[in-house]
Amino acid sequence: MTDLSCLAYVLEEWTVVDYLKKYLFHMVIVSLTMSAILVFFIVPLTILFFIYLTNILLLIYQRNGEVKADPLSDVWDSARKTIASFWDIYARIWHGYELHGVENLPEGPGILVYYHGAIPVDYLYFLSRLFLWKKRLCLSVADHFVFRLPGLKLLLEVTGVMPGTREECLTALKNGHLVSISPGGVREALFSDESYQLMWGNRKGFAQVALDAKVVSIICYHSQFMLIAYMLHYKMQFRSLYESTRLPFTPPYGGLPVKFRTYIGEPIPYDPNITTEELVEKTKTAVQALISKHQTIPGSIWKALLERFDKRRKSD
């Protein structure tokens, strides 16, 4: 190598080093940002993957067994048990999930009213444990956008998810089913926070159905669910976007393994002398009381994480 070529090589190496020094800081920032995004979104995305995987397994079960029965019939119970077992194992491992107050559920029909979590995994845990313990299917009223999601039709049918018109709810109750509904709906899931305030607005359809069907109303609360997956609701444009489209554009993030419990409160018996508005207020008061009893307000991620691994505390 000549002196001239050697000098050219050294200068070239210096240029590369200077380039790396100049942009190293930016590369580190980008890497850390990408890592943070993966950490915050990996659990919600994993849950979404498992939900779609569950639907695929149901399709395989349907095709291999040539099952053509009504998705709500007992023919699907073996598939339901498999699905429920999977989600129950996930709930036990990741959140140490507990279910309390099952004895408050009626043997017959009833309206189960609950406070909506940020992602449906809180409710999935409850449905799974209930089916495994009582072999009972609780039908669920869901927002219309859920039925527009591609690739979930069979899963929704087998697990009893329905649009929840008045006629459908009354028919389900007449057939002896439990019917669950969250009056706060998607708005409560997207824009509620660690204060756990109800966001029911003027919704009272659930109360009217309970009175028309002459059934009890049961309250239900999933503790710590707002700490499982937060929503990016601090951006006002997300709220205005939802109000104009009624579509949940706000993405969830988080998924920390906080301690998670579901509490079923004492039933509110049917009273022919109560009005719809009075039943709504009575139910609101009962749900808020259940939250106050079992939830630290405002919620604390660190306390919830410590509680997750505290073996001495089994329930509130």
Q: What residues act catalytically?
A: 116
Q: Tell me the C-alpha distance between 8 and 61, whole Å.
A: 68
Three-class SS state of 315: coil
**Residues 67-75: contacts with CB under 8 Å, at least 24 apart:** 71/154, 71/157, 71/158, 72/137, 72/157, 72/158, 72/160
Q: Residue 174 in contact with residue 131, Cβ under 8 Å?
A: no
Q: Tell me the C-alpha distance between 200 and 247, whole Å.
A: 17
Q: Residue 99 in contact with residue 130, Cβ under 8 Å?
A: yes
CA-wise closest residue to 262 among 315, 186, 301, 303: 315
Q: Residue 131 in contact with residue 81, Cβ under 8 Å?
A: yes
**DSSP characters for 252-309?**
EEE------EEEE---B---TT--HHHHHHHHHHHHHHHHHHH--SS--HHHHHHHHT
> Integer distance in angstroms from the first to the last C-alpha of the chain?
79
- CB neighbours of residue 205 within 10 Å: 16
